[in-house]
Structure 1
Amino acid sequence: MFEVFKAYVLRHATVSEEEFALLEAVAKLKKLRKRQYLLQEGDVCRHHCFITKGLLRTYAVDDKGNEHIIRFAMEDWWISDRESLMSGNPSKFNIDAIEDAEVLLFEKASMDMLMEKLPAFKKMISEILDKSFITSQNRIHEAISSTAEEKYQNFVQRYPAFALRAPQAMIASYLGIKPETLSRLRNKR
């Protein structure tokens, strides 16, 4: 599984074999079964997680038991609760596997050390965080200014793999629309 991560890093940064050895030394492989939690609400997030296989989601559950999906993530993506990870406060979110998955876990202290010792890796992570922020900003704008149809069309265009792999009810939750509305939109296509 580390080979998947190594290929990913090589697409985004120039890292030597010695530096890869350091990355590999601190990475821990975790396998998740479908529906298994990576993080549960109330626990403190302790790892940056790189997905080498599978599809995961971050979500919250409201007082009525409704799930609100914040994000999906698949192979070659990172996932964690950044607020909990950085603050040490309990997470407001759950992260679980939609499919059987494998992730590489990097403890916060290890990641801090890697970014200090590996400037190219630090630059890569900084660029990923910038893109993530921009994506979140655009998602908020779309959520408050787009119709259900526009949200769905943009989702399918931006994330065709998620549209194929995630259950319809989860996609509806992510888009903030009712499953029946999503069903109607899909039938129109």
Structure 2
Amino acid sequence: MTAALPNLKNYLQSKAGITEEQFEALTQNLKTATIEKGAILLKQGEICHHSFFVEQGLLRSYTIDDSGKEHIIQFATESWIISDRSSIFFNEPSDFFIDAVEPSTFVYLDQPFIHRASEMSTAFRIFNEKACWWSVLMEKPVLPFMSLAIQ
């Protein structure tokens, strides 16, 4: 699987100090997918069960307000992770959609992967905890204000 996931390998080695052997062990059961532009990975109201690591392409998360206007939360380029971490963490319906802005290949990162990587690497565990708290503290409070008209 290493040859098929060069960006994920580089990401985990540079950000979390994962060794070649650890990478092989972590990624042996990971699933990847290639999707077309416009394909939806997560719909608002669904519970998010995965984070998505972008190997190639561009994904985005966004919400749609009551008037039908889209509000982009985040873009995820190659070597970025995107998800609704709050939905995963609290097992609650997502506030966001996640879709492909262009044809994209991504890796599903499920909770067992996150737990194994956290056990192998303190740096990964700390990074993941910070990302979870950033999501909970920064994204949720902003949502009610996104549909307000600028005066």
Same fold (TM over 0.5): yes
Choose 1 or 2 for highest CA Rg. 1
1:67 aligns with 2:70: yes
Aligned equivalents of 1:115, 1:65: Cα separation in 2: 39
Matched with 1:28 is 31
Equivalent in the alignment of 1:9? 12
What's the counterpart of residue 97 of structure 2?
A: 94
How far apart are the structure 2 equivalents of 1:123 and 1:47? Answer: 19
The Cα of 1:118 is off from its aligned counterpart by: 3.2
Change (3 A) 1:79 1:64: same
Query: CA–CA distance in 2 between the matches of 1:40 and 1:55?
Result: 17
Listed one character per residue, the Cα deviations across residues 45-93 of structure 1 (whole Å, up to 9, x for unaligned) are 0012111111111111112111111111111111000111111111111
- What letter corresponds to residue 55 of structure 1 in structure 2? L
The structure, 1 or 2, with the larger RCO (C-alpha pairs under 8 Å, 6+ apart) is 2
Aligned to 1:185: none
- 1:43-54 matches, cutoff 5 A: 43-54=46-57
SS in 1 for 2:48: coil
Aligned positions of 1:25-174 closer than 5 A: 25-126=28-129, 129=131, 136=138
Distance in 2 of aligned mates of 1:45 and 1:123 = 21
- Whole-Å Cα distance in 2 between the matches of residues 106 and 52 of structure 1? 12
SS at match of 1:109: helix
CA pair 113-14 structure 1, distance change in 2 beyond 3 A? closer
Give 1:11 deviation, angstroms: 2.2
Q: SS at the partner of 1:72?
A: strand
Q: Percent identity?
A: 34
Q: Which runs of 4+ in 1 moved over 4 A?
A: none
Structure 2 portions without partners, runs of 5+: none
* Equivalent residues of 2:26, 2:116 under 8 A apart: no
Provide closer, same or farther for how the CA distance between residues 4 and 89 of structure 1 changes in structure 2, counting only shifts above 3 A. same
Cα root mean square deviation, aligned: 2.6
